[in-house]
Amino acid sequence: MTASVLFWLSVAVALFWALGAYNRLVRLRAQVITAFGVVDARMTQALVLMGEAGALSQASSPEASPRPVPTNHRAGLQGAAIQFEVALRVVRKQPLNGADVAALQTAFATTQPAWERWIAASTDLSETTLASVQRAWEDNVVTVRDTITGFNGAVRAYNAAITQFPASVLAYFFGFSAAACL
């Protein structure tokens, strides 16, 4: 009788441990996805700013200034925005996919040089407008980097949890795979 009780007690402990470990893995994965939602919102704001910048360039008349924004700088900004938007859409569907996250990281990195070229070429805009747009961009970039730091922290916690034994066994059986940092 004592052996039977001890056996069932061991089974119950193992079952409750497995349930708790599984719930922890699910919670950590949800935290990564939630952290990406915050990054997504700030990156979407960067896209909005890039769209507004392109609209400012098109709205300014060539007669207003002897040097309107060159078409190639507007096109470069628009191209970077399109690449960035596509990468962001893909990662929204699978924020734990390493290849997609790497593509988003590259796309976001290309927005900064395109923005800087656009700013340098935007001599037809008033100083006040240009300063306002640049300040909004810089503030958003700082915020994006802060949210990326939070996302990366959540990814590191999740990745650490799925590699710890014995939770790694559950991670293997339930398909928890490592996520990539931004």
How many residues can be counted in the chain? 182
E-state strands within 23-146: none
Does residue 135 register a pLDDT over 60?
Answer: yes
DSSP secondary-structure letter at 88?
H
Q: Report whether pLDDT(136) > 70.
A: yes
Q: Are 46 and 107 in contact (CB under 8 A)?
A: no
129 against 26, higher pLDDT? 26
Q: What's the confidence (pLDDT) of residue 64?
A: 47
Q: What is the pLDDT of residue 139?
A: 95
Beta-carbon contacts of residue 143 (< 8 Å; ≥ 6 apart): 42, 45
Q: Contact 80/111 with Cβ under 8 angstroms?
A: yes
Q: Which of 125, 114, 9, 2 is nearest to 67 (CA)?
A: 125
Q: Rounded mean pLDDT of 19-35?
A: 92
Average pLDDT value for residue range 19-30: 91
pLDDT digits (tens, 9 = 90+) for 42-70: 999 999 999 888 787 665 544 444 445 45
Q: What is the pTM of this model?
A: 0.83
CB atoms under 10 Å from CB of 72, counted, come to 11
Q: Which CATH architecture has domain 28-154?
A: Up-down Bundle (1.20)
What are the boundaries of each domain within the chain? 28-154
* Residues 6 or more apart whose Cβ sits within 8 Å of residue 61: 68
The pLDDT value given to residue 1: 66
Torsion of CA 67, 72, 77, 81, to 10 degrees: 150
Distance CA 161, CA 166 (A): 10
Q: What is the pLDDT of residue 85?
A: 95
Instruction: Give the pLDDT score at 157.
Output: 96
* Mean pLDDT calculated for residue range 117-138: 86
